[in-house]
Structure 1
Amino acid sequence: MRDTGGRGQGPGRGGAGSQGGPGAARRTPAGPGRQGRQAGSARSEGAGRPDNPPKEPRKPDPLDLPFGLLGRDGDREDTEDRARRPQDPADGSRGRSRDDESDGPRSRSRGDEPDGPRDRSRDGEGSRGRSRDEDASRGRSRSGGGDGVGGRPRPGGDGPRWRSRPDGDDAAKDRARQRSGRPRPEAERPGGRTSQARDDRSRGRQDDGPLRRTREEAPRDVRRTRDDGRGDDARLRRTRDDERTRAQSALRRGGGEGPPRRPPAPPRPPKPPPVLRLGNPRRRINIGLIGMTFILSIFGGRLIQMQGLDSKVYEARAVGQRTQTEDIPAKRGTITDVKGHALAVTVEAREIAIDPTKIKEAVRANVAAVLARQLGRTPQEMAAKLARVDTRYQLLARDVDPVVASRLLKSEVPALTSTKTYRRVYPGDDLAGSLIGFVGDEQSGLGGIEQARNTLLKGRDGEQRVETGRDGQRIPMTSSQRTVPVDGADVRLTIDRDIQWAAQQAVAQQVTDSAASSGTVIVMDVRTAQIVAMANAPELNLNNWRNAPASQYINRAASDVFEPGSTNKVITAAATLEAGAVTPDTVFQVKDNIKCADRVLHDAHPHKPEPMTYRQAVAESSNVATIMAARKVGSERLYQMLKAFGFGERPGGGVPNAEAGLLPNYKSWSGSQSCTIAYGQGVSVTALQMASVYQTIANGGVKIEPQIVAGTTDASGRFVPSAPGKKTRVVSDRTAKEITTMLETAVSAEGTGELAAIPGYRVAGKTGTANRYDAELGRYDGYTASFAGFAPADAPRLVVLSVLQNPKKDHFGGSVAAPVFKDVMTFAIKSKKIPPTGSTAPAVRAGAGQ
């Protein structure tokens, strides 16, 4: 609340002044004569104004001039003049607030309110913007200010003029109401005030200007006095309101001396520009600290996870990134023949690589020429590899000789690297090429024995784990782990290198001479069934296997399936002789043809019907006589004998890529097939299977699984022989001997295999000529010529089988395959140093009339 006081004129200022009554609130240190002020006294005029009791607000008189106020010269000022006066909107609100305080009971209720936070807020609002000099004058008494009614300066007053600013109280109250949500009193609402309140408000607007100026000009001690007497604000405000009411009543009645006219109000200074209120720095600091704490907690949690919870995982990853594993290849085992001669060996080699990005384009052609000359490549190939600048590793050549690699590294070619490896070398080139097989770039077998015994030959590679830097260089003083490689074991074959070479030469020559598609020769030991030679023509050159056609990768001796023809008649003879249905001397009336079901079958050569012993029929290879003998035992017994000799089953013994052939069940044989199978048409076998048949006959009727591996060497280099092949009795020894005498007759001058005879040795064998089925054409085309036999006939040691596929110049086995048998058998007997027995063949009756 604000308090106002009247200041006496003349003697009142310098004399006793205003005496403070019982309601005095404070002392005013205004000089001599200023003893204080009374809370309930009226303002003094000259020597002082008598006290008038406060009157109740009178009702508006209809005869009074509306809003009549005094102007500067004591004249009344009408409403229009006041409206034309420039006013600040804040002044109007302040005037209304002051008049509202003096209206009726509301004014008294406000004055009776005790000093509290609301009063302090109003004081704060009223004093906002004042200078320190004005704050120092608050201790002076407001009653000694010399103001008249409504804050106007009294005539003759010598004190500074000041004006009261009641707007701070009401503004603070309005703000307090807005915060608390209380409604504004009806008397203060627009449109809800009475006419008397409007009159008082109008008068308050006119008086507000001088009051503000008077207050601004008041000494600082007066304002201090006001602040010190804040506790009596309620009583002072009531006294001020009563004095204002009495003064206004006197002016309306025309009595008394009016106050002097006020000087024109100075123009209000322009409002200062709004000041940007900055945020609370403490709040900003707290928010920043909270944000930093949150972010640091995330980093801290991540560090705990990485270094605490997952430390082992990241440690393992780090070790994996800097640890490089280098394979240490094991040396592949050697493949040898039965005498220990190397057929496939492993030697040290180098892989030459280059970084194409380090080769400048200007010198690329010269570098390509140097590399091509040293590595045995074309300059175009080397130039194409050097042009691969999109990679930093380009392999130039494998299996490079260490001497050549060393010479290249010493040359001026930049960015060359050399890696130690091994390469496979085959001393015999194409010697048993398709049987031995070859090794790929990864040092794994891709065919033949190399593939079949790859695990044994390859061994176990070692490795070395080292820690390297970013540039690939090994980090010194770091740990390394090395696993020693285990070299592969050596494999010894049953092949005799010399006999193998002779067999390949003989069959290759006959293939050329007869214009055959291919040829095969197998040499087998009768007593052990070990394969002494397995030759094919054409043969695979192992040192140049990449440039060879894929057809040469196949070991035809074990994989090619063909119809055997007349060489299969020994099985029919074994079935009939073993069953006792016929004997070698049984006579058949043989025509040159025979009807079988819906077909008529013929002999190879036309002839007149004639009597013929079974021995003679085998020697002359008569199809009709063979069919007549097979009918005596039936299809089932013949089928069982074929199965016993190994037809339709894959032979054992470890021969790689061996096929089983084709033997249909006798129940599915057609009418003609039961006849053709007896002389070797309608059934398919491999050369290895047919050689096993003659090994069984030569071995007295005991079949042994063919073997190709004689043994291996262990880690200490000790030779470990392979287990012997499985033995099976197929026919009796007596039957085997009878068949041997029949086969021996076939090689004589009376038989078809006369060209297979070897001087000084007794030879037993059988020719074969069969229609050849061409799988590509899907029909029969050409012939298969073959010859199978053994020697010496009375004490068999070796079996030789020769087969030529689709010969063009001649197609009979006796004229195409028998000479190959003779050449290979002769060389094998001499190589094995098998002497002749010195015995002669027994006299037997070949013809029916003999």
Structure 2
Amino acid sequence: MRESGGRGQGPGRGAGGAGSQGGPGAARRTSGGPGRAGRQGGSSRSEGTGRPASPENPPRGPREGSDPLDLPFGRDAFRDDDRDNDRDDHRDNNRGRPPQDPGDEGRGRSRQGDGDRGRPREDRSRGGDARRRSRDEGEQPRGRGSQARDESDRPRGAGSRGRGSSAREDGDASRGRGSRDDDGDRLRGRGSRDDDGDRLRGRVQGHEERSRGRTDDRAGTRRDGGRPGGEDPRRRGPQEDVPSRRTPAGRSSAGGSRTGRGGDGPPPRGPRRPPPAPPRPPLVLRLGSPRRRINIGLIGMTFVLSIFAGRLVQMQGLDSKVYEAAAADQRQHTETIQAKRGSINDVNGHELAVTIEAREVSIDPTKVPVSIRAKAAAILGQQLGKSQQEIAEKLARTGTHYQLLARDVDPVVATRLLQARIPALSAKKTYRRLYPAGDLAGSLIGFVGDEGNGLGGMEQSKNSLLAGRDGEQRVETGRDGQRIPMTSSQRTAPVDGQDVRLTIDRDIQWAAQKSIGEQVRKSGADSGTVIVMDVRTAQVVAMANAPELDLGNWRKAPASSYVNKAAADVFEPGSTNKVITAAAAIEAKAVTPDTVYQVPDRIRCADQVLRDSHAHKMEAMTFRQAMAQSSNVATIMAARKVGSQRLYEMLKAFGFGSTPGGGVPSAEAGLLPDYKKWSGSQNCTVAYGQGVSVTALQMASVYQTIANGGVKIEPQIVAGTTDTTGRFVPAPAGKQTRVVSETTAKEIAMMLESAVGAEGTGQLAAIGGYRVAGKTGTADRYDAELGRYDGYTASFVGFAPADQPRLVVLSVVQNPKNGHFGGELAAPVFKDVMTFAIKSKKIPPTGSAAPPVRMRAGQ
């Protein structure tokens, strides 16, 4: 055994341990030489011992939450691995130091464990017996244990506070870690008493029991080699990894207490480090009770399922009928089956307006790829008669799924387009209104809009009769609009419209329209009108306007051409109105055709002077001659004998101021002020047709009444209709009203025949071989746009044959620029139309000659 001291026989945990060779702890090295040997009986100090308690050094208790002894190994590892531990301690303590020569031991640098190696085996085993006794006795030690460790292996690196005592060479009192060797005093530390040893042994025993499970693992780790460098995990403390600090005296603060090689006194002690913080216990996630989670989940599921169950009960039980109806409405779609519109025919059955089958071509722009749009636009534009740019713009509107390309497309063209396989192109079956005669009676017939409703003329006035009643079909369709096979359907058959047969004769209409059109162009007039009427029935045979509406291109025509001027335009009739004054005077027996008047060329009426139709000297005229030469002054003289009231009543009886019946579209009533409101001059001007307003249809009706022997018949434009079986049903005859006596009517007719004679103003209306009666008219024209009189209205109206009247023809030229007299502009139109109508109707001449009459006074 070496004198420098080493381990005792036991770990040096109490006074009962052997430790006669210097105690269980390593001798503390001093600068003077080797450390003193520990005293026998446990002069070393265990880890739990310390200096005596004092105010400067209060007693320490065990660290909270840590092992009282903090032993890294159990009793088996301690007993079996003593020798290995000594060698490891030696390596750990000398790690990082330069190699030592053998002479170092004499200078107090002896290695730890040398005492154990030089100690007999029985001394070493004695310490093991002491440990076993401590474990068996089960006493609870008050210190931290007396196992001796090398200072370099202490976990806290707190200088000389090892687990054994260290003697100091300079004789200083031990600071609770051992006894002084020179005076033999008892250890003042806790490990110097027997009772303290007992308590120490109990503490060791309790610690070993708690750390029994990990001792073998740590020992096994060390036996297997431990960490690189020979470090012993059992001997490393919490601050093992802290690097060593050098004090000014050459003492390591972390690797153990060591004096300098030439120092005389003890090395200075560094500041005491606080004990390491206890390791935090691992976080333990405490899970709730599984039963509670399951119960909560079941409650939630029950709540959700109850909501679904309630909703199902509501939908399938309470509201089942509502949802069933809603589902049916989604599947069922109502398709309108368009009824075929009835046709409009002339009196002989010739079609003036007819309905044919057509297609409505549309496309879904969203389904047309961009790459083929240009090609598709070119094909569609060429076939539909539209510009390629217009079609391309419609194909580019991808914000909608429906884009109408064209209506009224011929079925052959639509089939050709469908064969071109243009994506999303569809053709719907529709009907197209076709007008074979073009502009023939255009404004009278009217036209049909895009929605299938009449917008003018007969198309509008007889729309309900012509349109019929559309049918419908309820079918079930899918998402793509295709009909679902084998599903129920409800179909209501459409009722086609009825055909309307007019009183218009297509041929006479053409002749009238041609004649007035030419005269309007020649005279530079604004417009012209021709009406041909059957005397015996008052049926309108022709009703022509110039310019006429082209029904094939009505969308581009001006709005003024939509109006049927023959029935809607109101104008002052002028001299053609003198027949009513003559009828009132003759009917009142105030005058006769042979009554002579001294007629000047002007006459004062109230505050105005009215002039005759032409300047002349005072002249004696019969009333027949005044009518033939259209004398305004002679007419005023005859009207004064009648009076304003009777004249007004006669005008009313002939239809002035009231709308003519018979279903003529756009017919107006004209303007007939009450005689009580007539001005002073108006009492005179009304007699020759100024101050009242009529339509061409009204004036034609006046002459029809004279030609018909004084019986007025409401003008008729509709001859009849065809029922659903195709059978023709004639229209009821117009209302008949006697206005004047037959004698009066014949006398007036003879007076009108004189107006077309050699001395009359209507010579240009004469027709060879036929007796013609008629009257010219020239009136100042009131321009509503200007708000004053401007221009003239030239007119002529008559009938033929005069002795057996069959037809009445009226021609009116509005605001002509080349001439303005009715005998010059309107009479020739009358002649052309009457001649054609007579031949068309195959009306033969009567063969009789006009009876001689007295034209001038004195004859």
The residue number in structure 1 matching 2:485 is: 476
User: Which of residues 587, 590, 593 in structure 2 aligns to 1:584?
Assistant: 593
2:595 paired with 1:568:
no
**SS class of match (1:788):** strand
Measure, in 2, the Cα distance between the counterparts of 1:720 and 1:706. Answer: 18
**SS class of match (1:445):** coil
User: Which of residues 449, 456, 476 in structure 2 aligns to 1:447?
Assistant: 456
The residue number in structure 2 matching 1:799 is: 808
For residues 151-300 of structure 1, what are the structure 2 equivalents within 5 Å? 277-300=286-309
The residue number in structure 2 matching 1:435 is: 444
Q: CA deviation at 1:473?
A: 2.2
1:281-301 Cα offsets, whole Å, 9 max, x none, are 433333333333222222222
Measure, in 2, the Cα distance between the counterparts of 1:327 and 1:434. Answer: 30
**One-letter code of the match for 1:474?**
R
2:323 paired with 1:314:
yes
1:292–1:358 Cα change, 3 Å: closer
The residue number in structure 2 matching 1:810 is: 819
1:336-372 Cα offsets, whole Å, 9 max, x none, are 1111111111111122223334444444333333323
2:470 paired with 1:461:
yes
1:769-826 Cα offsets, whole Å, 9 max, x none, are 0111111222211110001111111111111110010111111001110111111111
User: Which of residues 833, 846, 857 in structure 2 aligns to 1:837?
Assistant: 846
**SS class of match (1:611):** strand
How high is the sequence identity, in percent, across the aligned residues? 75
1:48-68 Cα offsets, whole Å, 9 max, x none, are xxxxxxxxxxxxxxxxxxxxx
The residue number in structure 2 matching 1:324 is: 333
- Is the 2:777–2:822 contact (alpha carbons within 8 Å) kept by the matching residues of 1? yes
User: Which of residues 711, 715, 722 in structure 2 aligns to 1:706?
Assistant: 715
2:522 paired with 1:513:
yes
Q: CA deviation at 1:475?
A: 1.9
For residues 58-207 of structure 1, what are the structure 2 equivalents within 5 Å? 86=61
User: Which of residues 599, 623, 629 in structure 1 aligns to 2:638?
Assistant: 629
1:600–1:269 Cα change, 3 Å: closer
The residue number in structure 2 matching 1:342 is: 351
1:106-125 Cα offsets, whole Å, 9 max, x none, are xxxxxxxxxxxxxxxxxxxx
1:406–1:271 Cα change, 3 Å: closer
2:706 paired with 1:658:
no
The residue number in structure 2 matching 1:777 is: 786
Measure, in 2, the Cα distance between the counterparts of 1:819 and 1:577. Answer: 30
The residue number in structure 2 matching 1:127 is: none
2:528 paired with 1:524:
no
The residue number in structure 1 matching 2:235 is: none
1:180-208 Cα offsets, whole Å, 9 max, x none, are xxxxxxxxxxxxxxxxxxxxxxxxxxxxx
User: Which of residues 582, 602, 607 in structure 2 aligns to 1:598?
Assistant: 607
The residue number in structure 1 matching 2:191 is: none
1:412–1:81 Cα change, 3 Å: closer
The residue number in structure 2 matching 1:378 is: 387
**One-letter code of the match for 1:620?**
Q
1:631-659 Cα offsets, whole Å, 9 max, x none, are 11221221111111111111111011111
1:631–1:278 Cα change, 3 Å: same
User: Which of residues 495, 503, 512 in structure 2 aligns to 1:503?
Assistant: 512
1:788–1:285 Cα change, 3 Å: same
The residue number in structure 2 matching 1:353 is: 362
- Is the 2:53–2:59 contact (alpha carbons within 8 Å) kept by the matching residues of 1? no
The residue number in structure 2 matching 1:821 is: 830
**One-letter code of the match for 1:651?**
P
Which segment drifts farther, 556-565 or 665-674?
Answer: 665-674
Q: CA deviation at 1:271?
A: 8.4
1:455-482 Cα offsets, whole Å, 9 max, x none, are 1111112222222222222222222222
Q: CA deviation at 1:499?
A: 0.9
**SS class of match (1:752):** coil
Measure, in 1, the Cα distance between the counterparts of 2:438 and 2:712. Answer: 34
1:397–1:593 Cα change, 3 Å: same
Measure, in 2, the Cα distance between the counterparts of 1:85 and 1:307. Answer: 82
Measure, in 1, the Cα distance between the counterparts of 2:469 and 2:730. Answer: 22
Bigger proportion of residues as helix: 1
The residue number in structure 2 matching 1:409 is: 418
1:668–1:318 Cα change, 3 Å: same
The residue number in structure 2 matching 1:717 is: 726
Measure, in 2, the Cα distance between the counterparts of 1:83 and 1:571. Answer: 152
User: Which of residues 543, 566, 571 in structure 2 aligns to 1:557?
Assistant: 566
Q: CA deviation at 1:80?
A: 7.7
Measure, in 2, the Cα distance between the counterparts of 1:271 and 1:387. Answer: 74
1:82–1:380 Cα change, 3 Å: closer
**One-letter code of the match for 1:578?**
E
Q: CA deviation at 1:590?
A: 1.1
Structure 1 unaligned residues grouped into runs of 5+: 1-76, 91-155, 164-209, 218-266
Measure, in 1, the Cα distance between the counterparts of 2:280 and 2:508. Answer: 127
**One-letter code of the match for 1:708?**
I
Q: CA deviation at 1:374?
A: 2.3
- Is the 2:64–2:278 contact (alpha carbons within 8 Å) kept by the matching residues of 1? no
The residue number in structure 1 matching 2:217 is: none
**SS class of match (2:641):** coil
User: Which of residues 352, 373, 377 in structure 2 aligns to 1:368?
Assistant: 377
The residue number in structure 1 matching 2:704 is: 695
Which segment drifts farther, 660-669 or 321-330?
Answer: 321-330
Q: Could you state the TM-score of these two structures normalised by the residue count of structure 1? A: 0.69
**One-letter code of the match for 2:624?**
R
Measure, in 1, the Cα distance between the counterparts of 2:547 and 2:56. Answer: 137
Q: CA deviation at 1:81?
A: 11
Q: CA deviation at 1:389?
A: 3.2
1:479–1:162 Cα change, 3 Å: farther
The residue number in structure 1 matching 2:774 is: 765
Q: Could you state the TM-score of these two structures normalised by the residue count of structure 2? A: 0.68
Measure, in 2, the Cα distance between the counterparts of 1:284 and 1:756. Answer: 115
**One-letter code of the match for 2:717?**
I
Count how many residue pairs are aligned between Structure 1 and Structure 2: 626
2:585 paired with 1:612:
no
The residue number in structure 2 matching 1:247 is: none
Measure, in 2, the Cα distance between the counterparts of 1:706 and 1:82. Answer: 143
**SS class of match (2:394):** helix
1:535-590 Cα offsets, whole Å, 9 max, x none, are 11111111221222222111110111111000011111111122222222222211
- Is the 2:792–2:816 contact (alpha carbons within 8 Å) kept by the matching residues of 1? yes
The residue number in structure 2 matching 1:672 is: 681
- Is the 2:780–2:792 contact (alpha carbons within 8 Å) kept by the matching residues of 1? yes
The residue number in structure 1 matching 2:657 is: 648
2:427 paired with 1:418:
yes
**One-letter code of the match for 2:800?**
A
- Is the 2:361–2:405 contact (alpha carbons within 8 Å) kept by the matching residues of 1? yes
2:556 paired with 1:547:
yes
1:670-712 Cα offsets, whole Å, 9 max, x none, are 1111111111111111100111111111111111111100111
Measure, in 1, the Cα distance between the counterparts of 2:747 and 2:800. Answer: 15
Measure, in 2, the Cα distance between the counterparts of 1:676 and 1:301. Answer: 91
Q: CA deviation at 1:79?
A: 12
**SS class of match (1:562):** coil
RMSD of aligned alpha carbons: 3.4
Q: CA deviation at 1:84?
A: 6.0
Measure, in 2, the Cα distance between the counterparts of 1:809 and 1:614. Answer: 31
**SS class of match (1:835):** coil
**SS class of match (1:427):** coil
